[in-house]
Chain A
């Protein structure tokens, strides 16, 4: 089981939990299981196709998962994941 830290912006969607223990051998599996457990979280961080939104960052033990093996990054007991939607936009 990995521990997923839920930021305040997603907390209500995760039933008010600050952290959630989620099973899964990779970042992708953990996120899929988290969104299965809390569909309201999925509605915020996944695209309509079910992919993780490009502007949602994931950190594994404080390392940017995109700089590791992204959703294939292996995780397990004792690992901490953090999900952080970006602050982004633009005139176009």
Chain B
């Protein structure tokens, strides 16, 4: 995924704003090129879980569709753990096409952004595949 630095900054800023809770949102673009960040509300509002507000989810997905864009990724933050999908992340990954982007604030001074394709129904060991994030 090609991620302009300005968008990476927006995602990190969102994660910091919501800290200690997890943040979530969508990344729109074309193909593997991210062009804008759409922050959403974590309806769960806890440090260990995110559930995107379902109404917002519907509206944001429609907005991306109406603009003729692709839903490049779904992002969320890990506030105390690495930028790697948890068991819960995999179990609840209903969307096989967009990437799942995780921003980690484990080291608050050095946030890390990584991207993964998740396949919840694949055999264990084949559910997570990392995709490179290219800063542009």
Interface residues of A (CB under 8 A from B): 7-9, 43-44, 55-57, 64, 84-92
Question: Which single member of A8, A44, A91 contacts B81 (CB below 8 Å)?
Answer: A91
Contacting residues, chain B, for A84 (C-beta < 8 A): 54, 57-58
B113 interfacial contact with A, CB 8 Å: no
Contacting residues, chain B, for A43 (C-beta < 8 A): 121
Within 8 A of A (CB), among B33-69: 40, 44, 46-52, 54, 57-58, 61, 65
Interface residues of B (CB under 8 A from A): 22, 24, 26, 40, 44, 46-52, 54, 57-58, 61, 65, 74, 76, 78-81, 85-86, 88-97, 100, 121
Cβ-defined contact, A90 with B22, below 8 A: yes
Cβ-defined contact, A86 with B57, below 8 A: yes
Which residue of chain B has its CB nearest to the CB of A44? B94
**Contacts A9-B94, A92-B86; A87 near B48 (Cβ below 8 A):** no
Contacting residues, chain B, for A56 (C-beta < 8 A): 94
Q: Which of A85, A88, A91 has the most CB of B within 10 A?
A: A91
Rounded to whole angstroms, the CA-CA distance of A30 and B50 in the bound complex is 29
Rounded to whole angstroms, the CA-CA distance of A87 and B97 in the bound complex is 13
Contacting residues, chain A, for B121 (C-beta < 8 A): 43-44
**Contacts A9-B95, A56-B94; A89 near B48 (Cβ below 8 A):** no
Contacting residues, chain A, for B57 (C-beta < 8 A): 84, 86-87
Which residue of chain A has its CB nearest to the CB of B82? A91
**Contacts A9-B97, A87-B57, A87-B74; A55 near B81 (Cβ below 8 A):** no
Which residue of chain B has its CB nearest to the CB of A66? B54
Cβ-defined contact, B81 with A89, below 8 A: no
Cβ-defined contact, A89 with B54, below 8 A: no
Cβ-defined contact, B92 with A88, below 8 A: yes
Cβ-defined contact, B54 with A90, below 8 A: no
